[in-house]
Amino acid sequence: MNNLNDPPGWNIQPDRRGREAGAGDGNQWNYALLVPMLGLAAFRWIWTRDSQKEIQKVKVQYDKDVSTIKSEMEARYRDTLTESRRAVATLELELEKERQRVKGYQQALVSHSQHLIQLRKQLEQEREALNDEKQKLVKSGAAGAALRDALERETSWYQGAMATMRELEGLLVERQNAYCSLIQPREHRLEMEKNLLLKVVKDPVAAELDLESDLKDIFKRDKHCADLMNMDKRKNGSLMWVYLKYWQLQITLQKHKKAEEAIFTGRIQSDKK
């Protein structure tokens, strides 16, 4: 009869041949291998559980650190963005102030140029009137001869004055070129302006025409420069050219006034006597 409590091959059978040395059956090793395997499985399970806990702990700490760094970076970004916007707003305000200042300079320059143009027109009208008067005097015989003599006497003064104007024109061209230059130092331009002012104070013709205040006005207001690729120095400047035309008209008018004064005061007649 079959033993239900011991199905064939289920239970470990005792070694019927005994435990002599060299027995071929290895059932006695099953228990010996089972214990280390169970220990290894238990160690692996414990190690895996502890590793999972450690991994989870590191992961939580990592997420916490990342969240902290992210918050700090966002706060720094907001601060930087706020500072940048504030700086941009300040720069825009300063730029608008400079634009308004330049606009004011431009309006003042235009107004001043228009005033000088009106003066030049007035001088031209006076010169035409003097020419008409001169023609009348020339046609009147003795008075015409006296006027010719007076004008001839003022020719030397006129030529000297025009030579002074040409010299001033060259110096002003160089000064404006220094103002527009990106490489010439500011101190060099200031030295040129100082020398120009000294010249018009010491020169008799320039002093007679009172050019000092006009030069200071040019230094203060004439900021016109040609484009960066310009090689012609005479294309720089705007107000200075208006003043130069004005000064030349002044010299011509002054020549006729001097001749007229000489006739009216009797210097020409007395010289002839």
**pLDDT 10s digits, 139-179:** 555 555 655 666 666 677 888 888 989 999 999 999 999 99
Q: Are 121 and 253 spatial neighbours (Cβ–Cβ below 8 Å)?
A: no
Residue 252 lies in a domain: yes
Cα separations in angstroms, 70 against 21, 60, 76, 131: 73, 15, 10, 88
Question: To the nearest whole percent, how much of the chain has pLDDT over 90?
Answer: 16
Which residues, at least 6 apart from 184, have a Cβ–Cβ distance to it below 8 Å? Answer: 178
Q: Identify whether the C-beta of residue 250 lies closer than 8 Å to the C-beta of residue 209.
A: yes
| Average confidence score pLDDT of the chain | 75
Q: What is the pLDDT of residue 12?
A: 47
Is residue 163 domain-resident? yes
Whole-number pLDDT of residue 62: 78
15: CB partners within 8 A, 6+ apart: 23, 25, 27, 28
In residues, how long is the chain?
Answer: 273
Residue 55 lies inside a defined structural domain of this protein: no
| SS3 label, residue 95 | helix
Instruction: Domain of residue 197: give its range.
Output: 108-272
Q: How many domains would you assign to the chain?
A: 1
| 19 within domain boundaries | no
Q: Which residue has the tokens 């025009």?
A: 162
Residue 68 domain-assigned (yes or no)? no
pLDDT of residue 22: 45
Two structure tokens written together for 222: 């004439």
Decide: 113 and 238 in contact? Cβ < 8 Å: yes
- pTM of the predicted model as reported, rounded to 2 decimal places: 0.47
pLDDT, one tens digit per residue, over 220-251 is 999 899 887 888 899 999 999 999 998 888 88
Q: Amino acid letter at 266?
A: G
Asked if the structure places residue 158 within a domain, the reply is: yes
Evaluate whether residue 17 is within a structural domain.
Answer: no
φ, ψ (nearest 5 deg) of residue 62: -65, -50
**Does a structural domain hold residue 204?**
yes
